[in-house]
């Protein structure tokens, strides 16, 4: 399990390590994603979105200046208020028109940018999904599907979030601060610009520090909530045990203690929010008071007018408005950066089994299989297989038997190259499987496992999965040879019948025959049967066995068998014990040896006899 060593935490098989980085690296990754050739068609929209963002920032700064100018026109007109009303109304109309435009431009930008964001999310999701598909069997055996899906979902969602808040919200806020500082310094007083900058810096520092503290409070609250909910469910689920031991009072007290702990953590988290709000309000108002006091002083000195004070007031409020959500946005931005890092952590994982750069494509496979002194051990196991050799000529049938853990299924996985051998070699038609592309190798193999898993689609699509462009005649022929055609045509919806999640609407025998029909349709050179009938009852097993015999005609067949009666006609039976070949030969020859196989046959015959007697 090599991928566990470099990608998955051994304490938690579902945990995917984050890629190196932070918010800055996340922004760089998003910019790199947006620069990909697949998004080239959106380049004009991206440029327009940036221009609209900058335009909105300029208009946000222009509005207070025009508002102040309009007020000055009204109160400083020598002809009186009435005579100054017309120019004042005109400039007020212009000012509020600009304010409307400043609010509308971001909406237009978001309207234009929505398909770009969705396309970027799609690219990232497809990359991650495809990469996960190509990771080795080990990876998929050591994680939950839901956990992996959430990594992809959160990572893709983080792309949209980081774009909107970092590039279209937080970024423009600092652009606006830069422009506002210049406007305040040039139009009024450089000290006002200094006050604005200092206020914003203090505001940001206070918000980030308190938010980091709040995150810890929130995490403790969530942990207490999880514990509290878990105890509640655990007690209610195990009510019989509670009553059996007369522990109602004890469990009620345990519930009370857990809820009390959660209540304390909740109060701490809520109070931390009040502290953040109060600190933000204090910084904002202190900055605003300082700016207004300085403006009032300038008015008294004759260097500013009353309308200029209005402009300063409006300018500061404009700067403060987007900062109101900074605490929440900072927390979410950090979480988005973490989610994006996990997505890139998944993309950075390397498969255990990968095609070589010069890998060959297996063309026109005949089906000659050779295992030559093969040795392999799982990292998680002490016992594997050692020095296993056998030769399966084209069209022959070989069966593998042995106790659980003897290495039977491992041999098949090495043939499929789900793992790479550590010693020796596995060859197909004279080619070491490590020298072949995995796609062409597995295209020559057809597998019928013990439990055939189907997609939640129709019977038609599940059988045609092996050959999506198959005609109905080809599907009917495959179903007929799998002894499934009569069943399909007896269904009310026929070929369009949905089989349910993992094929749960079908019986075990029906699922197995769908799997067999799928393999027949694929027409592989090598048929692999991994205990394909072991989970079936005797009557169903007999019917499925007939279908398997039909499927194996003219193909090289490798079988792992639990019931020895199903492999009596194999050309060779290989008996494995603790990963080594201990016996081999035909059914009759092995019985004549009176060794391990004969002992297994006798024990199984005795169990079958007892089962028949019990019936």
SS (H, E, C) 58-89: HHHHHHHHHHHHHHHHHHCCCCCHHHHHHHHH
pTM of the predicted protein model: 0.62
Which CATH number is 55's domain given?
1.20.1560.10
Is 310 within a domain?
A: no
Q: How far apart are CA 464 and CA 480, in angstroms?
A: 14
The CA distances from residue 143 to 147, 189, 241, 331, in Å, are 7, 62, 33, 28
Is 255 within a domain?
A: yes
Residue 245: is it exposed, middle or buried by C-beta count within 10 angstroms (0-12/13-18/19+)? exposed
Which pair of structure tokens corresponds to residue 171?
A: 């970024």
Q: How far apart are CA 515 and CA 533, in angstroms?
A: 12
Other Cβ atoms within 10 Å of 546 Cβ, number: 12
Which pair of structure tokens corresponds to residue 484?
A: 């499934």
Is 555 within a domain?
A: yes
Same domain? 172 vs 81: yes
First-to-last C-alpha distance (Å) of the chain: 45
Domain endpoint, select from 489, 505, 522: 522
Same domain? 419 vs 478: no
Which CATH number is 370's domain given?
3.40.50.300
Is 551 within a domain?
A: yes
Query: Which pLDDT value is given to residue 21?
Result: 55
Is 466 within a domain?
A: yes
Same domain? 227 vs 369: no
Same domain? 517 vs 609: no
Q: Phi and psi (nearest 5°) for 99?
A: -65, -40
H or E stretch covering 198: helix 190-237
Which pair of structure tokens corresponds to residue 81?
A: 């208020």
Same domain? 197 vs 219: yes
Q: How far apart are CA 14 and CA 17, in angstroms?
A: 10
- What's the average pLDDT block by block, 10 residues per block, for the chain (615 residues)? 34 48 72 83 87 87 85 64 64 83 86 85 82 70 61 77 73 81 88 90 88 82 83 84 86 91 90 88 91 90 86 86 73 72 76 82 88 80 76 88 81 86 89 89 84 84 87 88 85 86 78 85 86 64 73 84 79 86 87 86 74 56
Query: Which pLDDT value is given to residue 194?
Result: 92
Same domain? 508 vs 549: no
Same domain? 438 vs 545: yes
Query: Which pLDDT value is given to residue 263?
Result: 93
Query: Which pLDDT value is given to residue 282?
Result: 92
DSSP H helices, 321-423, are 326-347, 408-415
Query: Which pLDDT value is given to residue 1?
Result: 32
Same domain? 9 vs 120: yes
Is 267 within a domain?
A: yes
Query: Which pLDDT value is given to residue 256?
Result: 92
Domain that holds residue 36: 1-188+329-352
Same domain? 193 vs 160: no
Query: Which pLDDT value is given to residue 195?
Result: 92
Domain endpoint, select from 522, 546, 568: 522
Summary count for the chain: helices (H), strands (E): 21, 10
Query: Which pLDDT value is given to residue 5?
Result: 33
- Our count of domains for the chain comes to 4
The radius of gyration of the chain from alpha carbons, rounded to an integer in Å, stands at: 36
Q: How far apart are CA 328 and CA 335, in angstroms?
A: 11
Domain endpoint, select from 480, 502, 522: 522
Is 322 within a domain?
A: no
Query: Which pLDDT value is given to residue 8?
Result: 34
Same domain? 530 vs 486: no
Is 308 within a domain?
A: no
The CA distances from residue 465 to 142, 204, 455, 457, in Å, are 26, 56, 9, 10
Per DSSP, the residues of 461-486 read HHHGGG-TT--HHHHHHHHHHTT-HH
Same domain? 250 vs 377: no
Same domain? 22 vs 129: yes
């Amino acid at each position: 399990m090599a991928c566990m060593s470099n990608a998955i935490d051994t304490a938690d098989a579902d945990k995917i390590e984050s890629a190196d980085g932070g918010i800055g690296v996340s922004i760089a990754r998003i910019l790199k994603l947006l620069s990909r050739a697949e998004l080239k068609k959106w380049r004009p929209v991206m440029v327009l979105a940036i221009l609209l963002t900058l335009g909105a920032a300029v208009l946000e700064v222009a509005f207070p200046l025009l508002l102040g100018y309009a007020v000055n026109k009204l109160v400083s007109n020598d002809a009186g208020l009435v005579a100054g009303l017309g120019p004042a109304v005109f400039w007020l109309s212009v000012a509020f028109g600009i304010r409307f435009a400043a609010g509308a431009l971001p909406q237009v930008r978001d309207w234009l940018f929505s398909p770009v964001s969705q396309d970027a999310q799609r690219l990232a999701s497809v990359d991650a999904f495809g990469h996960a598909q190509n990771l080795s069997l080990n990876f998929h055996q050591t994680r939950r599907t839901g956990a992996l899906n959430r990594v992809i979902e959160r990572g893709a969602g983080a792309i949209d979030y980081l774009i909107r808040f970092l590039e279209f919200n937080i970024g423009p806020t600092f652009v606006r601060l830069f422009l506002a500082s210049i406007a305040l310094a040039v139009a009024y007083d450089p000290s006002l610009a200094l006050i604005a900058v200092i206020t914003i810096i203090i505001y940001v520092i206070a918000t980030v520090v308190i938010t980091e503290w709040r995150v810890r409070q929130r995490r403790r609250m969530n942990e207490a909530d999880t514990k509290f909910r878990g105890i509640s469910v655990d007690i209610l689920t195990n009510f019989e045990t509670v009553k059996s031991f007369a522990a109602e009072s004890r469990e009620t007290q345990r519930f009370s203690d857990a809820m009390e702990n959660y209540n304390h953590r909740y109060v701490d988290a809520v109070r931390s929010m009040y502290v953040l709000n109060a600190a933000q309000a204090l910084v904002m108002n202190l900055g605003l008071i300082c700016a207004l006091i300085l403006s009032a002083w300038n008015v008294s000195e004759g260097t500013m007018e009353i309308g200029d004070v209005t402009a300063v007031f409006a300018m500061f409020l404009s700067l403060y408005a987007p900062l109101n959500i900074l605490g929440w946005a900072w927390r979410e931005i950090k979480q988005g950066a973490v989610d994006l890092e996990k997505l890139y952590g998944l993309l950075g994982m390397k498969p255990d089994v990968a095609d070589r750069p010069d890998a060959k494509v297996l063309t026109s496979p005949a089906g000659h299989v050779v295992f030559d002194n093969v040795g392999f051990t799982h990292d998680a196991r002490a016992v594997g297989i050692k020095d296993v050799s056998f030769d399966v000529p084209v069209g022959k049938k070989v069966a593998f038997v042995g106790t659980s853990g003897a290495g039977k299924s491992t041999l098949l996985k090495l043939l499929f190259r789900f793992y790479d051998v550590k010693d020796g070699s596995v060859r197909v038609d004279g080619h070491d499987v490590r020298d072949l592309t995995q796609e062409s190798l597995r295209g020559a193999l057809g597998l019928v496992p013990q439990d055939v898993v189907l997609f939640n689609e129709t019977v038609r699509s599940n059988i045609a999965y092996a050959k999506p462009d198959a005609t109905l005649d080809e599907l009917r022929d495959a179903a007929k040879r799998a002894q499934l055609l009569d069943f399909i045509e007896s269904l009310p919806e026929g070929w369009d019948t949905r089989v349910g999640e993992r094929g749960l609407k079908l019986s075990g025998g029906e699922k197995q025959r769908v799997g067999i029909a799928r393999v027949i349709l694929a027409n592989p050179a090598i048929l692999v049967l991994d205990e394909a009938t072991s989970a079936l009852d005797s009557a169903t097993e007999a019917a499925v066995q007939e279908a398997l015999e039909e499927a194996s005609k003219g193909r090289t067949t490798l079988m792992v068998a639990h019931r020895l009666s199903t492999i009596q006609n194999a050309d060779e039976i290989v008996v494995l014990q603790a990963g080594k070949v201990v016996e081999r030969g035909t059914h009759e020859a092995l019985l004549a040896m009176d060794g391990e196989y004969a002992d297994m046959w006798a024990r199984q015959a005795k169990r079958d006899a007892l089962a028949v007697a019990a019936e």
